[in-house]
Amino acid sequence: MKKILTGIKPTGDFTLGNYIGAIKQMVSMQEEYDSYLFVADLHALTIPQDPKELHERLKKFIAMYIACGIDPKKNTIYLQSENEYIPAMSYLLECTTQYGEASRMIQFKEKSKEHSNFSVGLLTYPVLMAADILYCDADYVPVGIDQKQHVELARDIAERFNHRYGDTFVLPEPMISKSGVKIRDLKDPTKKMSKSEENPQGVISMFDTKEDIEKKIMRATTDSDNQIKYDMDHKPGISNLLNIASSITGRTIEELEKEFDGQGYGTFKKYVASITSEHIMKIQEKYQQLLNGKELDQILDEGIQKSRTLAKGKYDLMKQRMGVIR
Ligand code: ATP
Ligand code: LTN
């Protein structure tokens, strides 16, 4: 069975974009692949975080993954920071990574401009990500297009290590979903719905109340021609709502266009608001049960045990190959 692995940084509330773009995709693949899913809490630290808020988000994210349909029996689920072999591997990989490669990463260039006095962690971010991927010999890494460059760097680092020290790593490939849609910000549909967005009005959090979800959708920015037609270039607002409705119900865009033909934006928005809020409320019900129960700790204990065993094996092999053993 081929392995897939992905992680999400807990840098803000888990959004509808993360659900549709990342978790739903993992759910649809969990039968066919040996799947690894983690919370990338060490990666969150590359930009300053409030420790209390970050801590509270960790279990919330895990509970949300499972409430969204990730089956703990079919996935290895864990917190990145509980596997100490990953940062240890990352150091060894740093010594096989060129400074030029790391500093050419687009995310590094952008974020280092945004934050004055940025940390060294921001530069080594993709090397830690390489360790995340390489320790378990992941074949495919489902990510958004913005992370493709990081997965390709992980592959380059692995290839160089294999060449220099002998076969050690499987070469991973990014898996960019063709069908996976990008959910846009409801207030500014030209940009991605993102958990670090400052204006919450354009972002649906999976923890929002039913009323908030409905309000945000009813107030979503749309054009003025009142036609329910998919056209991302000229009608990004309404196209975004069509994408959301289609992802949630499994119905095609054409079916939805036909059903709401001539009915105007108000009626369509009400429909999207109602199916989206109901869908998220069902997920929240399951989420609450998980958060209140004991199951979560057991899932994390099992996940980290498996993850640590694999990472220790790979770390020891790397050290042996590199000559740093007694
Ligand atoms: P940040 O604001 O910190 O960049 P983000 O919410 O944009 O965070 P990431 O943590 O970078 O999300 O992404 C986690 C996963 O969720 C990735 O696989 C990414 O492709 C997916 N994802 C995030 N936002 C969206 C979106 N709006 N539409 C579709 N997929 C998304
Ligand atoms: N950098 C990714 C999160 C991430 C990740 C990973 C994704 C950290 N480690 C390993 C895939 C594989 C992001 O910002 N979305």
Q: Tell me the CATH architecture of domain 200-287.
A: Orthogonal Bundle (1.10)
Could you report the per-residue pLDDT of 122-136, keeping only the tens digit for each? Answer: 999 999 999 999 999
**10 CA to centre of own chain:** 9
Distance 182 CA to ligand 1 centre (A): 9
User: What's the chain's average pLDDT?
Assistant: 95
Check residue 178 and give its pLDDT. Answer: 63
| Cα 180 to ligand 1 centroid, rounded to whole Å | 12
Predicted confidence (pLDDT) per residue in 63-122, tens digit: 999 999 999 999 999 999 999 999 999 999 999 999 999 999 999 999 999 888 999 999
Domain boundaries, the chain: 3-181+294-322, 200-287
Least confident of 35-39, 196-200, 248-252: 196-200
Location of structure tokens 């309404």: 238
Is the predicted pLDDT of residue 241 greater than 90, yes or no?
Answer: yes
Amino acid 90 reads: S
Residue 206 CA from chain centroid, whole number? 14
Lowest mean pLDDT of 223-227, 305-309, 311-315, name the range: 223-227
CA–CA dist 132, 80 (Å, integer): 8
Which ligand has the minimum distance to the alpha carbon of residue 57? 1
- Atom 12 (ligand 2): residue with closest C-alpha? 6
Average pLDDT over residues 34-44: 98
- Ligand closest to the CA atom of residue 134: 2
CATH of domain 3-181+294-322: 3.40.50.620
- Positions marked active-site: 111, 192, 195
For ligand 2, whether the C-beta of 157 sits within 6 Å is: no
CB 182 less than 6 A from any atom of ligand 1: yes
Q: Is the CB of 80 under 6 A from ligand 2?
A: no
Is residue 193 in contact with ligand 1, taking CB distance under 6 Å? Answer: yes
Q: What is the pLDDT at residue 42?
A: 98
Predicted confidence (pLDDT) at residue 309 exceeds the cutoff of 90: yes
pLDDT digits (tens, 9 = 90+) for 178-190: 656 889 999 999 9
Alpha carbon distance 201, 10 (integer Å):
20
